Amino acid sequence: MSFRFAVADDCVQDRVRLQNDLSAWLRNHESMSDTGCEAFSSGMELLQNGGMSGRFSAVFLDICMDGLSGIETAYRLRAAQPDCLIVFITSEKSYALDAFPLHPFDYLVKPYSKERLSFLMADITRVLTRSVEEAEFRVAYGTIRLPVSGIVSAVSSGHGMNILLSDGKAVTVLTSFSEMQTKLSAWPCFLTVNRGIIVNMDHALRINNGSIMMTGQVSYPLRVRNQNELIRQFTQYQIKHRMGGI
């Protein structure tokens, strides 16, 4: 299968080493042999050379770069391409907390070992090459199947549900809220945050002032009742699924 990787690091030595190590790993694994790896000296250079157009499947970003930092680069990258896998490179684990709201796939701490990089690449490969899980929904003209990972939210709308997708498109399905809850409960990433509102926590950035902020500059209000419990569930999910690599 063919994918594109990118490295952005303003330290020449670190950038070249990681690009070479990634390229060597990819060449030695048949399922990723058609995957290429490009390197950039800054976050802005990455964004101007395909980062905003969905060119890359996975991006390694140094957190501390001159000019546009890795975190600032990731915010722009995430807004344009929500499904891109982001790995932050850092020499200090404490920086990981600043990157937490961006839903990084993992962290690579300098100096890294070949074993650590190999473990990380195996995880990335499993995600990029796994079969896409889909859910089926009724619509006015029949049925459609939507990739579960691409569902950002499902919100009650009249006699159906309005599903927002990660590409910005929206689909209205003929499903009641209770039916939608039952269907999406098969995946732990979905959380009912208010009456008639279900969100995919893999697309959630943070909770702020009683609202949950999503990718694509969308936000939804949290229900007042049991709000602390919602925050707890969201935080636990984030820790379990987003911070395991530190």
pLDDT tens string 41-92? 999 999 999 888 878 999 999 998 989 999 999 989 887 877 789 999 988 7
Look at residue 197 in the predicted model and tell me its pLDDT. 98
Is 0.85 topped by the overall pTM?
A: no
Tokens standing for residue 188? 């732990």
Look at residue 12 in the predicted model and tell me its pLDDT. 96
Whole-Å CA distances, 103 to 24, 83, 202, 237: 27, 10, 7, 11
Specify whether 106 is located in the same domain as 124: yes
Specify whether 47 is located in the same domain as 148: no
Mean of pLDDT values over 224-243:
84
Look at residue 131 in the predicted model and tell me its pLDDT. 66
Q: Which of 129, 144, 179 is the last residue of a domain?
A: 129
- Domain containing 145 equals 134-242
Whole-Å CA distances, 31 to 28, 56, 66, 125, 126: 9, 17, 35, 8, 10
Specify whether 21 is located in the same domain as 66: yes
Q: What is the pLDDT of residues 160-179, one digit of tens each?
A: 999 999 888 999 999 999 99
- What CATH number is associated with residue 173? 2.40.50.1020
pLDDT band of 34, cuts 50, 70, 90: confident
Residue 53 DSSP symbol: T
Specify whether 118 is located in the same domain as 206: no
135 pLDDT above the threshold of 70: yes
Specify whether 124 is located in the same domain as 164: no
pLDDT band of 246, cuts 50, 70, 90: very low
Look at residue 198 in the predicted model and tell me its pLDDT. 98
- What CATH number is associated with residue 41? 3.40.50.2300
Calculate the average pLDDT of the chain: 88
Specify whether 15 is located in the same domain as 107: yes
Amino acid at 111: P
* Cα diameter, the chain: 59
Specify whether 122 is located in the same domain as 194: no
Q: Are 226 and 234 contacting, i.e. CB atoms less than 8 angstroms apart?
A: no
199 contacts: CB under 8 Å, gap ≥ 6 = 152, 153, 190, 191, 193, 212, 214, 220
Whole-Å CA distances, 166 to 99, 134, 150, 153: 21, 14, 5, 9
Specify whether 149 is located in the same domain as 59: no
Specify whether 221 is located in the same domain as 181: yes
pLDDT band of 243, cuts 50, 70, 90: very low
Per DSSP, the three-state class of 83 is coil
Which sign, positive or negative, has the C-alpha torsion 238, 240, 245, 246? positive
Look at residue 3 in the predicted model and tell me its pLDDT. 85
Domain count of the fold of the chain:
2
Compute CA 126 distance to the chain's CA centroid, rounded to the nearest angstrom. 15
Q: Which of 129, 155, 174 is the last residue of a domain?
A: 129
Specify whether 124 is located in the same domain as 146: no
Per DSSP, the three-state class of 109 is strand
Task: Choose among 110, 98, 43: nearest CA to 73.
Answer: 43
Look at residue 50 in the predicted model and tell me its pLDDT. 87
Q: Which of 60, 94, 129 is the last residue of a domain?
A: 129
Specify whether 154 is located in the same domain as 227: yes
Specify whether 24 is located in the same domain as 90: yes
Tokens standing for residue 55? 């060119």
Lowest mean per-residue pLDDT among 23-32, 95-104, 153-162, 180-189: 95-104
